Amino acid sequence: MSSTAEPKKLTKKELKADHPTWCPACGDFAVLASFFNVVQKLGFDHEKVVCVAGIGCSSRFPYFVNTHGIHFIHGRALPLATGISLSRPDLHVFVFGGDGDGYSIGGNHLTHAARKNINLTYVVMDNFVYGLTKNQTSPTSPLGRKSKTDPRGAIDRPINPMAQLVSSGATFVARSHASQVKHMNEMFERAILHNGFSVVETLSECTMFYPGSFDDSIPRKGGEFNLVGEEHDKQDLAAAMELTGDLTPGKFGVYYETERDTKNELESAWVKDAQAAHAGLSGQDILRKSFSRMR
Ligand SMILES: Cc1ncc(C[n+]2csc(CCOP(=O)(O)OP(=O)(O)O)c2C)c(N)n1
Ligand code: SF4
Ligand SMILES: [Mg+2]
């Protein structure tokens, strides 16, 4: 193909890769289906989509999509995705992972990617458990839940992921549910179209180790799926924090959405300035000058 040819738009068939190896009825299947729906709808160019993940059942996501993809180190997907986003601003960068990957070992990276407002979309498939390693307590496991690491029930207070995400500096924070594909489609689409660090905390049931975990938010199981009210001011940080106060089952929708310069924009302006200051010099000369300044 000549380099000037128009890139081909994606179809769902082209986006699918290996058959997912998740357990039957695992919530992550629905997240994958929603991702296919939205990326196809937005008509991205195939070679412009990249999916990064750490380790966990949910983090196997890149294997199941036919895009650029990296199955990376547990908890380290965000720093890698940050580098990709900053160096290739033309790409649509997605990060997928679980509650353990994102809120436990990767918790620090999440804070920093959010405060820097890196332009990417992060989907946390929160099942309140470590699934891949077969049932250990995660940072979102409720108090008293028995697991391999807490045979007498969890004794450590769980984190409030929505409160952490809103306060971390993320500029788009939404909450969705794997049993509500239409809602997920809408949240993912809005997150992807947002310029900056967008994150969708998505409740995704681990049917193997924590069945019934989200019944309180599934109407056909007697729960309530309550949407964030129309009156909620998404740009109001205090109002967003107030929404995070009770997540049992809590509200679903966009908690917080604001505009702030991304690191991508700030860094690129800085690089342009620096290049202008060295106009006419070769890369080697610039390096030499910088090193001699440090002597
Ligand atoms: C550095 C490191 N520590 C621990 C592990 C073991 N480990 C693999 S996945 C995982 C937790 C997975 O839980 P989560 O991120 O919630 O994903 P899930 O399987 O529930 O989707 C752990 C502790 C590892 N692979 N690497
Ligand atoms: S162990 Fe749980 S999270 Fe992992 S694939 Fe099975 S149902 Fe899904
Ligand atoms: Mg998990």
Residue 149 is part of a domain; what is its CATH number?
Answer: 3.40.50.970
Residue 1 within any structural domain of the chain: no
Number of domains, the chain: 2
175 and 140 assigned to the same domain: yes
Q: Is 132 in the pocket of ligand 1 (CB under 6 A)?
A: yes
Atom 1 (ligand 2): residue with closest C-alpha?
Answer: 131
Query: Is residue 14 helix, strand or coil?
Result: helix
Residue 199 within any structural domain of the chain: yes
Q: Is 55 in the pocket of ligand 1 (CB under 6 A)?
A: yes
Q: Which pLDDT does position 37 carry in this prediction?
A: 96
Q: Which pLDDT does position 76 carry in this prediction?
A: 98
Residue 5 within any structural domain of the chain: no
Probe residue for ligand 2, chosen from 26, 31, 64 as the CB with the greatest number of ligand atoms within 8 Å = 26
196 and 292 assigned to the same domain: no
Q: What is the pTM of this model?
A: 0.95
Q: Is 26 in the pocket of ligand 1 (CB under 6 A)?
A: no
The three state secondary structure string of 34-91 is HHHHHHHHHCCEHHHEEEEECCCCHHHHHHHECCEEEECCCCCHHHHHHHHHHHCCCC
Residue 2 within any structural domain of the chain: no
Q: Which pLDDT does position 2 carry in this prediction?
A: 42
Residue 4 within any structural domain of the chain: no
153 and 282 assigned to the same domain: no
CB-CB contact of 255 with 233 (8 Å): no
Residue 7 within any structural domain of the chain: no
57 and 70 assigned to the same domain: yes
The mean pLDDT value of the chain amounts to 95
Atom 13 (ligand 1): residue with closest C-alpha?
Answer: 130
200 and 277 assigned to the same domain: no
Q: Which ligand neighbours the alpha carbon of 206 most closely? A: 2
Q: What distance in angstroms lies between residue 9's CA and the mean position of ligand 3's atoms?
A: 33
Q: Is 57 in the pocket of ligand 2 (CB under 6 A)?
A: yes
Average pLDDT over residues 87-98: 97
Note the pLDDT tens digit of each residue in 161-186: 999 999 999 999 999 999 999 999 99
59 and 195 assigned to the same domain: yes
249 and 272 assigned to the same domain: no
Q: Classify the phi-psi angles of 233: left when phi > 0, otherwise alpha if psi is within -120 to 50, otherwise beta.
A: beta
Query: Is residue 137 helix, strand or coil?
Result: strand
- The number of the ligand 2 atom at minimal distance from the alpha carbon of 27 is 8
272 and 243 assigned to the same domain: no
Average pLDDT over residues 21-36: 98
Q: Is 64 in the pocket of ligand 2 (CB under 6 A)?
A: no
Q: Is 120 in the pocket of ligand 1 (CB under 6 A)?
A: no
188 and 251 assigned to the same domain: yes
Probe residue for ligand 2, chosen from 60, 209, 210, 214 as the CB with the greatest number of ligand atoms within 8 Å = 209
- Domain encompassing residue 193: 12-260
| Predicted confidence (pLDDT) at residue 39 exceeds the cutoff of 70 | yes
Q: Is 126 in the pocket of ligand 2 (CB under 6 A)?
A: no
Q: Is 209 in the pocket of ligand 2 (CB under 6 A)?
A: yes
Q: Is 140 in the pocket of ligand 1 (CB under 6 A)?
A: no
175 and 50 assigned to the same domain: yes
Average pLDDT over residues 7-28: 90
Return the structure tokens found at 232. 């909620």
Residue 3 within any structural domain of the chain: no
Q: Which pLDDT does position 6 carry in this prediction?
A: 66
Average pLDDT over residues 205-209: 98
279 and 214 assigned to the same domain: no
Return the structure tokens found at 44. 């991205």
Q: Which pLDDT does position 7 carry in this prediction?
A: 60
165 and 247 assigned to the same domain: yes
State residue 96 phi and psi, 5-degree precision.
Answer: -125, 145
For 264, half-sphere exposure in the C-beta direction (CA atoms, 13 angstrom radius) is 24
Residue 239 within any structural domain of the chain: yes
Q: Which ligand neighbours the alpha carbon of 126 most closely? A: 3
Q: Is 131 in the pocket of ligand 2 (CB under 6 A)?
A: yes
% of the chain surpassing 90 pLDDT? 89
Distance between CA atoms of residues 109 and 103, nearest Å: 9
Note the pLDDT tens digit of each residue in 42-90: 999 999 999 999 999 999 999 999 999 999 999 999 999 999 999 999 9
Q: Which of 11-20, 71-80, 221-230 has the lowest mean pLDDT?
A: 11-20
Q: What distance in angstroms lies between residue 153's CA and the mean position of ligand 2's atoms?
A: 20
Q: Which pLDDT does position 266 carry in this prediction?
A: 98
Q: With cut-offs at 50, 70 and 90, classify the pLDDT of residue 1.
A: very low
Note the pLDDT tens digit of each residue in 116-148: 999 999 999 999 999 999 999 999 999 999 999
Average pLDDT over residues 210-239: 98
